[in-house]
Amino acid sequence: MRDRAIPERLKLSYEAGLGKLFYSRINLFCYIVITVFLIEITAGLTFFRQILSPNDFPGIITGLVVSLVLLSTARAGRGLLFYKIRAGIFSALLVLIAILSAPAHPGLIAHMGITLVLLAFFVSILLLPWSARETAVIGFFALINFVFVYLGARTFVNTEVFTINTVIMIIAAAIGIIVKRTENLLREKNFLSKAEIEEKNAVMMKELDIARKIQRSIIPQSMQDPLADIAVTYQPMFYMGGDYAKFSFVDKDKLMFIVSDITGHGVSSALLVNRIHTEIERLLNLRVSPGELLKGLGVFIDRDFGKIGFYLTAFCGMLDFSNNRLVYSNHGHPPQILMQSKENNIVLMDSQTFLMGIGLADNTVYDANIAFKKGDRLILFTDGVIEAKGPDGCLFGYENLKDFAKENIGLHVSEFNTRLLERVNVFQQDNQTDDIFLLSIQIK
């Protein structure tokens, strides 16, 4: 496996992660050692007094004292070097405990030879993220100390056994070096892969943020006019979405508006929003009726996007203040609401034909008209409002929307939108499953 050097710009981050690993492992091992030794002392003094001898106490006390000292100094410093020093002390502790077991139980050394030192060595290197070079140092330390184990048990271990165990210790150190080199290479590779993904994600999030700002720039802002107050509220399901609205005075007394919903969510739908924004502005400049505008938009959708499976619902209307008539056209969009304030009555403006993009050959221009009065209110929205789901799976629906409209008709349109969105979010417990767009128009 080829070594992959950590770039200079990432070294601090890599060392910080490595330091945290050393820090957590050493603290964990200290707790384990303290617990094991306390259990050993309790069991020895209570049930196995003939096994626990005074010669055991140097090793036990050393383990307890060093573990407690390491725990007490856990927050005394920071950085990889400090954590490695603590880890080195702990590794030496394990080997020293194995050494102190020799004079306590010489017969054990005679039968088990280097087993205790090997166990201490492997625990110290395999459970800590040492480098291959650091593993070699620990292996050398363990080998030197094994000589003291041999000297302490020379009456029980002959030269041949010592020689075999020395070779075993050298082989164990070599294996440890190979294992740690491979482990560190894998750790570095995983770190670099993760860092690369995070950097790409950061770039992507930056690009998404720019795209979100671009999309937000084409979403109209709330406005007040002598003829009408208009409030716009947009809450996409993801970073950006496929809902769109546009309003414009095509004449001094004619307000044209459109609310649309593109199938799907996220970036792909947002890209299509940008395309239809340009097309809608072109159609508005032609000063056509709502039905003719949606007919032209449908041709555009079928021609450019029908084959890739994008569909569009849209509601377009025009308030003609010269004769108090509302002309509207609805292509597959949920029925929109005209709130007649004086009568406290709600009129639903139903869909007149299918959604756009399905390639339906229909040359009919769908226009309908209805009278309005001063004080009436248009409540325009996408299906993210009425199809919001509660925890029981029930939809927010038209009844809730109608009840809310009747209860809050006296609110200014901006406050109306804010409270309606809050009501929907509470209903779905902030588990949004679709984009939400609200366009409320208060006729003055």
pLDDT score for 105: 60
**pLDDT tens figures, 253-280:** 999 999 999 887 777 788 888 889 999 9
- Which of 77-91, 148-162, 201-215, 381-395 bottoms out in mean pLDDT, i.e. has the lowest? 148-162
The radius of gyration of the chain's CA atoms, rounded to the nearest angstrom, is 38
**Strands annotated E in 321-376:** 325-331, 336-340, 345-349, 368-371
pLDDT in tens, 146-194: 777 667 665 556 677 778 878 888 888 899 899 989 988 898 899 999 9
pLDDT for 365 equals 95
pLDDT (tens digit, 9 = 90+) per residue, 82-140? 888 888 888 887 777 766 665 556 665 555 556 777 777 888 888 888 989 999 998 88
Output the pLDDT for position 119. Answer: 77
Q: Give this prediction's pTM.
A: 0.65
Query: How confident is residue 2, by pLDDT bands cut at 50, 70 and 90?
Result: very low
More confident residue, 149 or 34: 34
Identify the pLDDT of residue 16.
Answer: 87
Average pLDDT, integer, range 285-293: 96
What's the first-to-final CA gap in the chain, in angstroms?
75
The secondary structure of 280-303 as a DSSP string is: HHHHHHTT--HHHHHHHHHHHHHH
- Coil, helix or strand at residue 57: helix
Say yes or no to pLDDT of 382 above 80: yes
Provide mean pLDDT across the span 388-402: 95
Looking at every residue in the chain, the average pLDDT score rounds to 86
How much is the average pLDDT of 379-397? Answer: 96
- pLDDT above 90 coverage of the chain, percent: 41
The one-letter amino acid at 377:
R
- Helix (H) or strand (E) holding 314, with range, is strand 312-320
> What is the per-residue pLDDT for 324?
97
Split at pLDDT 50, 70, 90, the class of 1 is very low
Average pLDDT over residues 330-345: 95
Measure the CA dihedral 326/329/335/341, to 10°.
Answer: 0
Give the orientation angle of helix 397-407 with respect to helix 413-427, to 10 degrees: 140
Find out whether 120 and 98 touch, Cβ atoms under 8 Å: yes
- Examine the pLDDT at 242 and tell me if it is beyond 90: no
Quote the CA–CA distance of 276 and 300 in Å, as a whole number: 8
- Between these two residues, 215 and 113, which has the higher pLDDT value? 215
Lowest mean pLDDT among 30-44, 216-230, 279-293, 411-425: 30-44
Query: What share of the chain has pLDDT > 70, as a percent?
Result: 89
Q: Token pair for residue 170? A: 């050298």
Beta-sheet strand order (sheet of 312-320): 243-251, 254-262, 312-320, 325-331, 368-371
Superfamily of chain region 219-443: PPM-type phosphatase domain (3.60.40.10)
Q: Which two tokens stand for residue 324?
A: 């108090």
DSSP calls for 173-230: HHHHHHHHHHHHHHHHHHHHHHHHHHHHHHHHHHHHHHHHHHHHHHSPPPEE-SSEEE
User: Could you tell me which residues come within 8 angstroms of residue 46 by beta carbon, excluding any fewer than 6 positions away?
Assistant: none
pLDDT of residue 108: 58
Tokens 């927050």, residue located: 75
Alpha-carbon distance 91 to 141, whole Å? 10
Dist. CA 146–CA 121, nearest whole Å: 11
Residues of the chain with CATH 3.60.40.10: 219-443
Residue 386 confidence (pLDDT)? 97
CB 98 within 8 A of CB 113: no
pLDDT the model gives residue 225: 95
Distances (CA, A) of 278 to 209, 299, 316, 422: 21, 14, 16, 32
More confident of the two residues 123 and 46? 123
Q: What pLDDT is recorded for position 49?
A: 58
- CA torsion, ordered 252, 328, 326, 414, to nearest 10 deg: -80
pLDDT for 360 beyond 80: no
CA angle 306, 358, 233 (to 5 degrees): 85
How confident is the model at residue 52, as a pLDDT? Answer: 61
Task: Look at residue 320 and tell me whether its pLDDT is greater than 70.
Answer: yes
